[in-house]
Chain A
Amino acid sequence: MTQVGRQSWDVVVVGAGGAGLRAAVEARERGLRVAVICKSLFGKAHTVMAEGGIAACMGNVNSKDNWKVHFRDTLRGGKFLNNWRMAELHAQEAPDRVWELETWGAVFDRTDRGMISQRNFGGHEYPRLAHVGDRTGLELIRTLQQKIVSLQQEDHKETGDYEARLKVFQECTVTRVLKDGDRVSGVFGYERESGRFFAIEAPSVVLATGGIGKSFKVTSNSWEYTGDGHALALLAGARLVNMEFVQFHPTGMVWPPSVKGILVTESVRGDGGVLRNSDGKRFMFDYIPDVFREKYADTEAEADRWYEDPDHNRRPPELLPRDEVARAINAEVKAGRGTPHGGVFLDVSTRMPAEAIKRKLPSMHHQFKELADVDITAEPMEVGPTCHYVMGGVEVAPDTAEAVGVPGLFAAGEVAGGLHGSNRLGGNSLSDLLVFGRRAGLYAAEYAASFGAGDRPAVSDADVELAEAEALRPFGAEGAEGAEQDPAQGPENPYAVHQELQQSMNDLVGIIRREPEMTEALRRLDGLRARARRAGVEGHRQFNPGWHLALDLRNMLLVSECVARAALERTESRGGHTRDDHPQMDREWRRINLVCRLVENTAGGAAAADPALGRIRLERQDMPPMRPDLLALFEKEELVKYLTDEELTS
């Protein structure tokens, strides 16, 4: 048995992106001792990739904006599947969260009157996104990082120790949330650098681990997005909701292969970029759904006039919601009208003078020049859909962000489900991080403070030993029985298993879904699960990426199964879930949330379960009816599109 470092803190935050850092700041300001654990270096979290802005109805640019409008926009975007209470809190609290960033040193772009500038974005009725050029996420993460440092400086002044009450454990991975009976008692994990194990005892654990994109082959997400928090919550007995809803951004780079999936910002289309297939046709005109006919131009001439005169012309169809555009591109490529590298053309070069392109889209010009050797002022870009965001996540109590059924476990940000319903609006994720990051930190602190010194949940040695054995398995990986005779049954290369997983999810549970394909995906996941158990690694534990990946595979396989099972179950198309065999949205389905839970929930269960059997069970759960005053914010004509007659009359 190797040595396991043990420590005790009040609140443990897993993840140091926007939500995790905001939660840590809150819990520390409430006077508690907070440990933040993150897989990367401090300040490198995936939040830095966010470009557009933070949605908050400050009304700096259009004073008509208020939380009710933001609430409405959010629900429309999510096709009314959102948790209405979360959407309400989110819309109400976002402005305060943005303003408070300024007091911590954030420097947003300004209006003429010196206030925070706000920009237009898809689905938002008014200019609403506080931004810093196209690097808003970087500003957010850096501001929170510097706020943490300033709190540490206060502690240093007081105690002589920077890390007395707030410590960041960087480059550490949590592999288990530990429990004492029903309640959370701490976390178990390893240091990536040294490979040493640690266990931290704490009554409150906040999950803020982000998304699951690394289960898909083409994704805008980084290596960290292996669904750790989703899986940790499942293994701790929590439930995941809405996992079938995965947002594919319509325009990711498709070439060169090394950058496939990297985002091409929506503003390219907003500023005049058009989509063409290999025949040179602006195909989006063929894909305007009936519900949008009135609002979108049906001729190129009208669409082109819109950029200059939006009041008297209808919008070009390139600016349809993300899911519509992504599906259209997918269909064109499947019909054989794609580009040589399997995308479509996104062209600004023939639409704007070179100077205007460089001025309006500097980072895109830079990105294509540096990464693809493409000069977007002279030639079109090649783009295709890329996995971007998961709407689903841990089912939480809307006010407290506490995971349903697991006292002491909290979740905020992309890892939490509910706020975005079936589809997230651009800009709503950064505000989500701040609003619910703070709430998670606040209630985690309250919960932790409710314990006396002696009555805290305890970490048992047995649990630590089990977790350690699980983490060490890849080093002792042996083939299946009879491996001596059949080399195919020998230890598996974790990289190969990962690649097959990504390919399967991309091909079979991707942007357009069909029943037989998803059934096939579940079958393949069974096989991959068995192989992942045999994933073996060479070398030692010090900074060994092969080992890290072998451990992450467990999480990716769990969340992939959730996505596939939920997607198979939901026989309608809505937001980020498109069924080829059930293309219509169904009002009856709106009343239902699909909830995933782990079949067997004992500490060592993960190891004991038969790998060939699915690990996830689905349950249907009724949506709680919306409060009447919130319902009254909508016109009846709009509600009939989403709500059943029964719901409308009651």
Chain B
Amino acid sequence: MATGTEPRAVAAGGVHHSSRAAIPERHLRRDRWWLAPAATAAGLLAFVVYSTWRAFAGDHYYAAPYVSPFYSPCLAENCVPMKGGADWGVVGAWWGLSPALLVLIFPLGFRLTCYYYRKAYYRGFWAAPAACAVPEPHARYTGETRFPLILQNIHRYFFYFAVIVAGILTYDTALGFRNADGEWGHMGLGTLVLLANIALIWAYTLSCHSCRHIVGGRLRNFSRHPVRYRLWGWVSRLNARHMQLAWASLISVAVADFYVYLIASGAFDDPRFF
């Protein structure tokens, strides 16, 4: 007697598997389901193109008192001198490529393993799936159980590094309150650009799912840890906007870099307020 609890024999296949309702179409969605993944892919691609150009360029990244977030901290000997900035030549002189490449690994790794960006590029680039109830084009699927995608689990390390990087960018932003001669108490449009950027970077970094877990999510009894419970509450509220913050901070970091580029290349003059 069937009870509805005995599983059927299994064979390979998705929605066209022999046991399923015989519907020739792979999916029957009629809305513009492709719009979101296409837009995501386009946005990410644009950033990749821009950042590749800027990261490899190795110039026009410092215009006192501003440093591009792509190039901070600047860890090679070939960095331009930054007045009081994070130009620590710890790597030495042998490094001949753009110094951005040394440090960009960390924010890149943070974003690459971020739970939101994973969704974005799995959907946008890998179509796994492109949209809900739209079949993916791959014959097999093992998710994040194997190399290399099992490495997504190291997101938390990148979070720790991202906090350090955000700290350094905060320092850079503070330096933005100087003038080109290094005197304090000044401000220009660039200061505002860096401020907006760092605010978004922090919001994005702190809204991270790993952060949410570390500050409190891993606890079983919130009532015994009132402070961490409160922190968890704040992070949770930020976390609800993780996607928006991911995009906003991605755009802001590119804008900040481009702003520095414009000034450093002389294409634009930073309006000074005082």
Contacts and interface: CB of A to CB of B under 8 A. Distances in A.
Judge A-B direct contact (beta carbons within 8 Å): yes
Nearest to B1: A5
Contacts of A5: 1
B76 to A, nearest CB: 56
Contacts of B2: 191, 193-194
Interface residues of A, number: 17
B28 to A, nearest CB: 22
B50 to A, nearest CB: 43
B3 interface: yes
Contacts of A167: 3
Contacts of B1: 5, 7, 169, 191, 196, 198
B271 interface: no
A304 interface: no
Interface in B1-54: 1-5
A617 B72 CA distance: 92
Contacts of B5: 162-163, 168, 170
A202 to B, nearest CB: 14
Interface string B172-186: 000000000000000
Contacts of B3: 163, 167-170
Interface in A2-48: 5, 7, 41-42
Contact of B4 (A170, A196, A198): A170
A228 B5 CA distance: 25
B52 to A, nearest CB: 47
Contacts of A586: none
Nearest to B3: A169
A151 to B, nearest CB: 15
Contacts of A42: 4
A171 B4 CA distance: 8
Interface in A175-211: 191, 193-194, 196, 198
Interface in B225-243: none
A114 B224 CA distance: 13
A174 to B, nearest CB: 13
A193 B2 CA distance: 9
B32 to A, nearest CB: 24
A445 to B, nearest CB: 22
A7 B3 CA distance: 13
B226 to A, nearest CB: 14
A146 to B, nearest CB: 15
Interface in A209-237: none
A169 B5 CA distance: 9
Contacts of B4: 41-42, 170-171, 193
Nearest to A41: B4
A168 B5 CA distance: 9
Contacts of A170: 3-5
A426 B259 CA distance: 67
Interface string B196-239: 00000000000000000000000000010000000000000000
Nearest to B6: A163
A42 B3 CA distance: 10
Nearest to A110: B223
Contacts of A198: 1
A164 to B, nearest CB: 13
A196 B1 CA distance: 9
Contacts of A171: 4
Interface in A147-175: 162-163, 167-171
A310 B4 CA distance: 53
A630 B137 CA distance: 73
A429 B5 CA distance: 30
Contacts of A168: 3, 5
Contacts of A169: 1, 3
A286 to B, nearest CB: 49
A37 to B, nearest CB: 10
Contacts of A191: 1-2
Nearest to A152: B5
A518 B2 CA distance: 44
A163 B6 CA distance: 11
A198 B3 CA distance: 12
A170 B5 CA distance: 9
A167 B1 CA distance: 11
A114 B222 CA distance: 13
A196 B5 CA distance: 17
Contacts of B223: 114
A192 B37 CA distance: 42
A114 B223 CA distance: 10
A5 B4 CA distance: 16
A507 to B, nearest CB: 39
A161 to B, nearest CB: 12
B248 to A, nearest CB: 28
A7 to B, nearest CB: 7
Contacts of A41: 4
Interface in A108-167: 114, 162-163, 167
A473 to B, nearest CB: 23
A197 to B, nearest CB: 10
A42 B4 CA distance: 10
Interface string B151-164: 00000000000000
A317 B3 CA distance: 50
A170 B2 CA distance: 9
A191 to B, nearest CB: 6
A170 B3 CA distance: 6
B222 to A, nearest CB: 12
Most B C-beta atoms less than 10 A away, residue of A114, A169, A198: A169
A162 B2 CA distance: 14
B233 to A, nearest CB: 18
A482 B91 CA distance: 104
A40 to B, nearest CB: 11
B6 to A, nearest CB: 10
A3 to B, nearest CB: 11
A213 to B, nearest CB: 26
A417 B3 CA distance: 31
A191 B223 CA distance: 49
B249 to A, nearest CB: 32
Interface in A84-119: 114
A439 to B, nearest CB: 27
Contacts of A162: 5
Contacts of A7: 1
B180 to A, nearest CB: 51
Nearest to A162: B5
A194 B3 CA distance: 11
Contacts of A196: 1
A169 B6 CA distance: 12
B1 to A, nearest CB: 5
A235 to B, nearest CB: 23
A162 B1 CA distance: 15
A41 B2 CA distance: 13
A458 to B, nearest CB: 20
Contacts of A163: 3, 5
Nearest to A193: B2
Nearest to A194: B2
A188 B20 CA distance: 31
B224 to A, nearest CB: 12
A162 B6 CA distance: 11
Interface of A: 5, 7, 41-42, 114, 162-163, 167-171, 191, 193-194, 196, 198
18 contacts: A5-B1, A41-B4, A42-B4, A114-B223, A162-B5, A163-B3, A163-B5, A168-B3, A168-B5, A169-B1, A169-B3, A170-B3, A170-B4, A191-B1, A191-B2, A193-B4, A196-B1, A198-B1
Interface of B: 1-5, 223
Given A193-B2, A196-B1, 20 more contacts: A5-B1, A7-B1, A41-B4, A42-B4, A114-B223, A163-B3, A163-B5, A167-B3, A168-B3, A168-B5, A169-B1, A169-B3, A170-B3, A170-B4, A170-B5, A171-B4, A191-B1, A191-B2, A193-B4, A198-B1
Chain A to chain B: the 9 pairs with minimum beta-carbon distance, closest first: A170-B4, A5-B1, A169-B3, A198-B1, A171-B4, A170-B3, A191-B2, A193-B2, A194-B2
